[in-house]
Amino acid sequence: MTISSTPLSAAIKRIRADVRAMHAYPVAASDGLLKMDAMENPFSLAPELQQALGERLGSLALNRYPGARQQDLKDALAAYAGAPEGASILLGNGSDELITLLALACAQPCEGGRAKMLAPMPGFVMYPLSAQLQGLDFVGVPLTEDFELDEAAMLSAIEQHRPAITYIAYPNNPTATLWDEAVVQRIVDAAGAQGGIVVMDEAYQPFASRSWITHMRDEPERNQHVLLMRTLSKFGLAGVRLGYLIGPAALVHELDKVRPPYNVSVLNCEAALFALEHAEVFAAQAAELRTQRERLIERLRAMPGVQRAWDSQANMVLVRVPDAARTFEGMRTRKVLVKNVSTMHPLLANCLRLTVGSAPDNDQMLAALEASL
Protein backbone atom coordinates (compact mmCIF):
# COMPACT_ATOMS: atom_id res chain seq x y z
CA MET A 1 0.00 0.00 0.00
CA THR A 2 1.47 3.34 -1.01
CA ILE A 3 1.41 6.36 1.29
CA SER A 4 -0.91 8.21 -1.08
CA SER A 5 -3.61 5.52 -0.67
CA THR A 6 -3.49 4.97 3.07
CA PRO A 7 -6.73 5.22 5.06
CA LEU A 8 -5.35 8.35 6.69
CA SER A 9 -4.68 10.12 3.39
CA ALA A 10 -8.11 9.08 2.12
CA ALA A 11 -9.72 10.38 5.30
CA ILE A 12 -7.90 13.70 4.99
CA LYS A 13 -9.27 14.07 1.46
CA ARG A 14 -12.77 13.97 2.93
CA ILE A 15 -12.04 17.39 4.41
CA ARG A 16 -12.95 20.27 2.11
CA ALA A 17 -10.19 21.25 -0.28
CA ASP A 18 -10.43 24.92 0.68
CA VAL A 19 -10.01 24.01 4.35
CA ARG A 20 -6.95 21.87 3.56
CA ALA A 21 -5.48 24.84 1.71
CA MET A 22 -5.97 27.17 4.68
CA HIS A 23 -3.71 27.95 7.61
CA ALA A 24 -5.00 27.67 11.16
CA TYR A 25 -5.38 30.90 13.12
CA PRO A 26 -1.83 31.59 14.30
CA VAL A 27 -1.09 32.10 17.98
CA ALA A 28 2.59 32.97 18.32
CA ALA A 29 4.62 31.20 20.99
CA SER A 30 5.35 33.68 23.75
CA ASP A 31 7.20 31.78 26.47
CA GLY A 32 9.87 34.03 27.95
CA LEU A 33 8.66 37.04 25.98
CA LEU A 34 6.86 40.23 26.92
CA LYS A 35 3.57 39.57 25.14
CA MET A 36 2.47 42.76 23.37
CA ASP A 37 0.83 41.24 20.30
CA ALA A 38 -2.75 40.46 21.37
CA MET A 39 -4.21 43.57 23.06
CA GLU A 40 -4.56 41.84 26.41
CA ASN A 41 -5.16 43.70 29.65
CA PRO A 42 -1.80 43.68 31.52
CA PHE A 43 -3.39 43.99 34.97
CA SER A 44 -4.32 41.00 37.12
CA LEU A 45 -6.97 40.95 39.82
CA ALA A 46 -6.03 42.10 43.30
CA PRO A 47 -5.36 39.16 45.68
CA GLU A 48 -8.57 39.68 47.62
CA LEU A 49 -10.61 39.60 44.42
CA GLN A 50 -8.75 36.52 43.21
CA GLN A 51 -9.64 34.76 46.46
CA ALA A 52 -13.27 35.83 46.29
CA LEU A 53 -13.58 34.70 42.68
CA GLY A 54 -11.90 31.39 43.41
CA GLU A 55 -14.29 30.66 46.27
CA ARG A 56 -17.24 31.56 44.10
CA LEU A 57 -16.16 29.39 41.18
CA GLY A 58 -15.31 26.54 43.54
CA SER A 59 -18.86 26.45 44.85
CA LEU A 60 -20.48 25.97 41.44
CA ALA A 61 -22.32 22.78 40.53
CA LEU A 62 -19.96 21.63 37.78
CA ASN A 63 -21.93 18.39 37.46
CA ARG A 64 -24.88 20.36 36.04
CA TYR A 65 -25.34 21.96 32.65
CA PRO A 66 -25.57 25.77 32.52
CA GLY A 67 -29.01 27.03 33.45
CA ALA A 68 -30.93 30.13 34.49
CA ARG A 69 -27.79 31.91 35.70
CA GLN A 70 -27.16 32.89 32.09
CA GLN A 71 -30.24 35.11 32.16
CA ASP A 72 -28.71 36.89 35.14
CA LEU A 73 -25.62 37.51 33.03
CA LYS A 74 -27.70 38.82 30.13
CA ASP A 75 -29.49 41.21 32.47
CA ALA A 76 -26.18 42.40 33.92
CA LEU A 77 -24.68 42.93 30.47
CA ALA A 78 -27.76 44.85 29.31
CA ALA A 79 -27.49 47.15 32.32
CA TYR A 80 -23.73 47.59 31.92
CA ALA A 81 -23.97 48.40 28.20
CA GLY A 82 -27.11 50.55 28.45
CA ALA A 83 -29.00 48.33 26.01
CA PRO A 84 -32.03 49.84 24.25
CA GLU A 85 -35.43 49.07 25.73
CA GLY A 86 -36.76 45.80 24.39
CA ALA A 87 -33.38 44.58 23.12
CA SER A 88 -32.24 40.99 23.57
CA ILE A 89 -28.77 39.57 24.15
CA LEU A 90 -27.07 36.55 22.63
CA LEU A 91 -24.08 35.07 24.47
CA GLY A 92 -21.09 33.53 22.73
CA ASN A 93 -17.89 31.74 23.61
CA GLY A 94 -16.00 34.90 22.72
CA SER A 95 -17.08 37.17 19.88
CA ASP A 96 -15.39 34.72 17.48
CA GLU A 97 -18.23 32.27 18.04
CA LEU A 98 -20.80 35.00 17.46
CA ILE A 99 -19.16 35.85 14.12
CA THR A 100 -19.40 32.18 13.18
CA LEU A 101 -23.05 31.96 14.22
CA LEU A 102 -23.96 35.05 12.21
CA ALA A 103 -22.35 33.61 9.09
CA LEU A 104 -24.01 30.23 9.66
CA ALA A 105 -27.44 31.80 10.06
CA CYS A 106 -27.10 33.90 6.88
CA ALA A 107 -25.44 31.35 4.58
CA GLN A 108 -28.10 30.71 1.94
CA PRO A 109 -28.39 30.90 -1.83
CA CYS A 110 -29.53 34.24 -3.17
CA GLU A 111 -30.04 35.96 -6.48
CA GLY A 112 -26.77 35.79 -8.38
CA GLY A 113 -25.18 33.07 -6.24
CA ARG A 114 -24.31 32.93 -2.54
CA ALA A 115 -25.06 35.37 0.25
CA LYS A 116 -22.44 38.07 0.74
CA MET A 117 -20.56 39.41 3.76
CA LEU A 118 -18.98 42.85 3.44
CA ALA A 119 -16.46 44.72 5.58
CA PRO A 120 -13.83 47.46 5.23
CA MET A 121 -10.31 46.13 4.88
CA PRO A 122 -7.83 45.86 6.46
CA GLY A 123 -9.98 44.58 9.28
CA PHE A 124 -10.48 41.67 11.64
CA VAL A 125 -9.32 38.42 10.04
CA MET A 126 -12.27 36.44 11.42
CA TYR A 127 -14.74 38.19 9.10
CA PRO A 128 -13.45 36.71 5.82
CA LEU A 129 -12.51 33.46 7.54
CA SER A 130 -16.04 32.93 8.85
CA ALA A 131 -17.47 33.77 5.43
CA GLN A 132 -15.27 31.17 3.75
CA LEU A 133 -16.00 28.44 6.28
CA GLN A 134 -19.76 28.98 6.28
CA GLY A 135 -20.18 29.42 2.52
CA LEU A 136 -20.64 33.15 2.02
CA ASP A 137 -18.81 35.32 -0.48
CA PHE A 138 -16.68 37.93 1.24
CA VAL A 139 -16.41 41.45 -0.16
CA GLY A 140 -13.57 43.54 1.26
CA VAL A 141 -13.73 47.28 0.60
CA PRO A 142 -10.32 49.00 0.97
CA LEU A 143 -9.95 51.83 3.43
CA THR A 144 -8.26 55.04 2.40
CA GLU A 145 -4.50 55.42 2.86
CA ASP A 146 -5.20 57.10 6.20
CA PHE A 147 -7.38 54.12 7.22
CA GLU A 148 -10.63 56.05 7.00
CA LEU A 149 -13.79 54.65 5.47
CA ASP A 150 -14.07 55.16 1.73
CA GLU A 151 -17.71 56.14 1.86
CA ALA A 152 -18.31 56.16 -1.89
CA ALA A 153 -16.71 52.73 -2.29
CA MET A 154 -18.68 51.29 0.63
CA LEU A 155 -22.00 52.61 -0.66
CA SER A 156 -21.26 51.36 -4.16
CA ALA A 157 -20.31 47.90 -2.88
CA ILE A 158 -23.45 47.66 -0.76
CA GLU A 159 -25.63 48.61 -3.72
CA GLN A 160 -23.86 46.16 -6.01
CA HIS A 161 -23.53 43.15 -3.69
CA ARG A 162 -26.53 43.57 -1.37
CA PRO A 163 -24.67 41.93 1.55
CA ALA A 164 -26.52 39.87 4.10
CA ILE A 165 -24.01 41.04 6.74
CA THR A 166 -21.98 44.25 6.83
CA TYR A 167 -19.36 44.50 9.57
CA ILE A 168 -18.26 47.87 10.91
CA ALA A 169 -15.50 47.50 13.52
CA TYR A 170 -15.92 50.48 15.84
CA PRO A 171 -12.99 50.99 16.47
CA ASN A 172 -11.23 48.94 13.85
CA ASN A 173 -8.57 46.24 14.25
CA PRO A 174 -5.66 46.56 13.41
CA THR A 175 -5.82 50.30 12.64
CA ALA A 176 -7.49 51.38 15.95
CA THR A 177 -9.61 53.86 13.97
CA LEU A 178 -13.00 55.11 15.22
CA TRP A 179 -14.74 56.25 12.06
CA ASP A 180 -16.85 59.34 11.50
CA GLU A 181 -20.37 58.87 12.90
CA ALA A 182 -22.16 60.51 9.99
CA VAL A 183 -20.35 58.35 7.45
CA VAL A 184 -21.07 55.22 9.45
CA GLN A 185 -24.75 56.11 9.74
CA ARG A 186 -25.06 56.55 5.97
CA ILE A 187 -23.48 53.12 5.49
CA VAL A 188 -25.87 51.66 8.07
CA ASP A 189 -28.80 53.25 6.23
CA ALA A 190 -27.61 51.92 2.87
CA ALA A 191 -27.23 48.37 4.17
CA GLY A 192 -30.68 48.54 5.71
CA ALA A 193 -32.20 49.76 2.47
CA GLN A 194 -30.85 46.60 0.81
CA GLY A 195 -32.34 44.37 3.52
CA GLY A 196 -29.04 43.57 5.21
CA ILE A 197 -27.83 43.18 8.78
CA VAL A 198 -25.18 45.54 10.13
CA VAL A 199 -22.91 44.35 12.93
CA MET A 200 -21.16 47.08 14.90
CA ASP A 201 -18.14 45.28 16.36
CA GLU A 202 -17.19 47.12 19.54
CA ALA A 203 -14.52 44.77 20.85
CA TYR A 204 -12.43 47.76 21.96
CA GLN A 205 -15.26 49.80 23.46
CA PRO A 206 -13.57 50.32 26.87
CA PHE A 207 -10.91 52.41 25.14
CA ALA A 208 -13.10 54.35 22.69
CA SER A 209 -14.60 57.80 23.11
CA ARG A 210 -18.07 56.81 21.93
CA SER A 211 -20.32 53.81 21.23
CA TRP A 212 -22.99 53.06 18.66
CA ILE A 213 -25.32 52.05 21.48
CA THR A 214 -26.38 55.69 21.78
CA HIS A 215 -27.65 55.66 18.18
CA MET A 216 -29.51 52.41 18.82
CA ARG A 217 -31.24 53.96 21.84
CA ASP A 218 -31.92 57.37 20.27
CA GLU A 219 -33.02 56.17 16.80
CA PRO A 220 -34.31 52.60 17.20
CA GLU A 221 -36.23 52.56 13.93
CA ARG A 222 -33.23 53.72 11.94
CA ASN A 223 -31.04 51.08 13.59
CA GLN A 224 -33.51 48.22 13.79
CA HIS A 225 -31.28 46.07 11.56
CA VAL A 226 -28.16 46.75 13.66
CA LEU A 227 -26.54 44.29 16.06
CA LEU A 228 -23.94 45.55 18.51
CA MET A 229 -21.22 43.00 19.30
CA ARG A 230 -18.87 43.23 22.25
CA THR A 231 -16.48 41.01 24.15
CA LEU A 232 -15.23 40.90 27.71
CA SER A 233 -11.74 40.11 26.40
CA LYS A 234 -10.74 43.77 26.19
CA PHE A 235 -12.75 44.52 29.33
CA GLY A 236 -10.03 42.47 31.03
CA LEU A 237 -11.19 38.85 30.75
CA ALA A 238 -9.47 37.50 27.64
CA GLY A 239 -9.14 34.09 29.28
CA VAL A 240 -12.83 33.83 30.12
CA ARG A 241 -14.03 33.85 26.47
CA LEU A 242 -17.32 35.72 26.69
CA GLY A 243 -18.82 37.70 23.84
CA TYR A 244 -22.30 39.13 23.46
CA LEU A 245 -24.63 40.58 20.85
CA ILE A 246 -27.23 43.25 21.60
CA GLY A 247 -30.05 43.79 19.15
CA PRO A 248 -33.78 43.77 18.39
CA ALA A 249 -35.45 40.81 20.07
CA ALA A 250 -36.92 39.42 16.83
CA LEU A 251 -33.52 39.35 15.12
CA VAL A 252 -31.64 37.94 18.10
CA HIS A 253 -34.34 35.27 18.46
CA GLU A 254 -33.59 33.94 14.97
CA LEU A 255 -29.83 33.93 15.55
CA ASP A 256 -30.28 32.08 18.83
CA LYS A 257 -31.59 29.09 16.89
CA VAL A 258 -28.10 28.28 15.55
CA ARG A 259 -26.36 28.71 18.90
CA PRO A 260 -25.06 25.42 20.30
CA PRO A 261 -26.75 24.43 23.55
CA TYR A 262 -24.70 25.26 26.63
CA ASN A 263 -22.10 27.18 24.61
CA VAL A 264 -21.15 29.34 27.64
CA SER A 265 -19.94 27.32 30.61
CA VAL A 266 -21.01 27.92 34.20
CA LEU A 267 -17.41 28.98 34.94
CA ASN A 268 -17.37 31.58 32.16
CA CYS A 269 -20.78 32.85 33.16
CA GLU A 270 -19.97 33.25 36.84
CA ALA A 271 -16.57 34.84 36.18
CA ALA A 272 -18.25 37.38 33.90
CA LEU A 273 -20.91 38.17 36.51
CA PHE A 274 -18.21 38.62 39.14
CA ALA A 275 -16.30 41.02 36.88
CA LEU A 276 -19.41 43.09 36.16
CA GLU A 277 -20.06 43.36 39.89
CA HIS A 278 -16.60 44.93 40.13
CA ALA A 279 -16.85 46.96 36.94
CA GLU A 280 -15.24 49.97 38.60
CA VAL A 281 -11.97 48.02 38.97
CA PHE A 282 -11.84 47.28 35.25
CA ALA A 283 -12.94 50.82 34.39
CA ALA A 284 -9.96 52.16 36.33
CA GLN A 285 -7.66 49.80 34.44
CA ALA A 286 -9.08 50.98 31.11
CA ALA A 287 -8.59 54.60 32.15
CA GLU A 288 -4.96 53.90 32.99
CA LEU A 289 -4.44 52.21 29.62
CA ARG A 290 -5.98 55.17 27.82
CA THR A 291 -3.49 57.43 29.61
CA GLN A 292 -0.61 55.12 28.74
CA ARG A 293 -1.81 54.99 25.11
CA GLU A 294 -1.39 58.75 24.68
CA ARG A 295 2.05 58.67 26.27
CA LEU A 296 3.02 55.76 24.04
CA ILE A 297 1.89 57.55 20.87
CA GLU A 298 3.79 60.69 21.89
CA ARG A 299 7.00 58.74 22.43
CA LEU A 300 6.59 56.77 19.21
CA ARG A 301 6.19 59.97 17.20
CA ALA A 302 9.41 61.31 18.69
CA MET A 303 11.38 58.13 17.99
CA PRO A 304 13.85 58.28 15.06
CA GLY A 305 13.02 55.61 12.51
CA VAL A 306 9.29 55.42 13.21
CA GLN A 307 7.78 56.75 10.02
CA ARG A 308 4.26 57.11 11.40
CA ALA A 309 2.24 56.32 14.51
CA TRP A 310 -1.50 56.59 13.95
CA ASP A 311 -4.05 57.95 16.40
CA SER A 312 -5.77 55.22 18.38
CA GLN A 313 -9.15 54.66 19.98
CA ALA A 314 -8.25 51.15 21.16
CA ASN A 315 -5.58 49.53 23.34
CA MET A 316 -3.21 49.20 20.39
CA VAL A 317 -1.15 51.52 18.24
CA LEU A 318 -0.32 50.98 14.58
CA VAL A 319 3.14 52.13 13.49
CA ARG A 320 4.98 52.13 10.19
CA VAL A 321 8.73 51.43 10.15
CA PRO A 322 11.25 51.11 7.30
CA ASP A 323 11.39 47.28 7.50
CA ALA A 324 8.66 45.61 9.55
CA ALA A 325 10.01 42.07 9.25
CA ARG A 326 13.50 43.05 10.43
CA THR A 327 12.17 45.20 13.25
CA PHE A 328 9.77 42.48 14.38
CA GLU A 329 12.58 39.92 14.53
CA GLY A 330 14.83 42.37 16.33
CA MET A 331 12.19 42.97 18.98
CA ARG A 332 11.59 39.27 19.43
CA THR A 333 15.32 38.72 19.86
CA ARG A 334 15.09 41.33 22.61
CA LYS A 335 12.28 39.34 24.26
CA VAL A 336 9.35 41.49 23.16
CA LEU A 337 6.59 40.05 20.98
CA VAL A 338 4.47 42.43 18.87
CA LYS A 339 2.30 41.79 15.82
CA ASN A 340 3.73 42.09 12.32
CA VAL A 341 0.66 42.99 10.26
CA SER A 342 2.61 44.08 7.19
CA THR A 343 1.53 41.09 5.07
CA MET A 344 -2.18 41.24 5.98
CA HIS A 345 -3.10 43.91 3.43
CA PRO A 346 -1.22 46.17 0.98
CA LEU A 347 -2.26 49.25 2.97
CA LEU A 348 -0.40 47.81 5.98
CA ALA A 349 2.99 47.63 4.28
CA ASN A 350 5.79 47.75 6.89
CA CYS A 351 3.33 48.18 9.75
CA LEU A 352 3.54 46.74 13.25
CA ARG A 353 0.71 46.65 15.77
CA LEU A 354 1.73 47.35 19.36
CA THR A 355 -0.41 46.55 22.38
CA VAL A 356 -0.79 49.31 24.94
CA GLY A 357 0.43 47.97 28.26
CA SER A 358 1.41 49.17 31.69
CA ALA A 359 4.07 51.88 31.97
CA PRO A 360 6.91 49.36 32.62
CA ASP A 361 5.73 47.13 29.75
CA ASN A 362 5.57 50.09 27.38
CA ASP A 363 9.06 51.20 28.42
CA GLN A 364 10.46 47.74 27.68
CA MET A 365 8.63 47.57 24.34
CA LEU A 366 9.83 51.02 23.28
CA ALA A 367 13.43 50.19 24.18
CA ALA A 368 13.25 47.01 22.10
CA LEU A 369 11.67 48.89 19.21
CA GLU A 370 14.26 51.65 19.22
CA ALA A 371 17.11 49.15 19.33
CA SER A 372 15.58 47.15 16.46
CA LEU A 373 14.94 49.97 14.00
pLDDT in tens, 44-98: 999 999 999 999 999 999 999 999 999 999 999 999 999 999 999 999 999 999 9
Q: Class of 65-277 per CATH? A: alpha beta
Tell me how far apart the alpha carbons of residues 242 and 265 are, in angstroms, rounded to a whole number: 10
pTM for the full predicted model: 0.94
Domain with CATH 3.90.1150.10 in the chain: 3-46+280-372
Q: Sign (positive/negative) of CA torsion 136, 197, 169, 177?
A: positive
Which CATH fold would you assign to the domain 3-46+280-372? Aspartate Aminotransferase, domain 1 (3.90.1150)
pLDDT at 1: 44
Confidence at 34, pLDDT banded by 50, 70, 90: very high
Tell me how far apart the alpha carbons of residues 306 and 232 are, in angstroms, rounded to a whole number: 32
Q: What is the share, in percent, of the chain residues with pLDDT greater than 90? A: 94
Domain with CATH 3.40.640.10 in the chain: 65-277
Residues 6+ apart with CB under 8 A from 175: 122, 143, 147, 310, 318
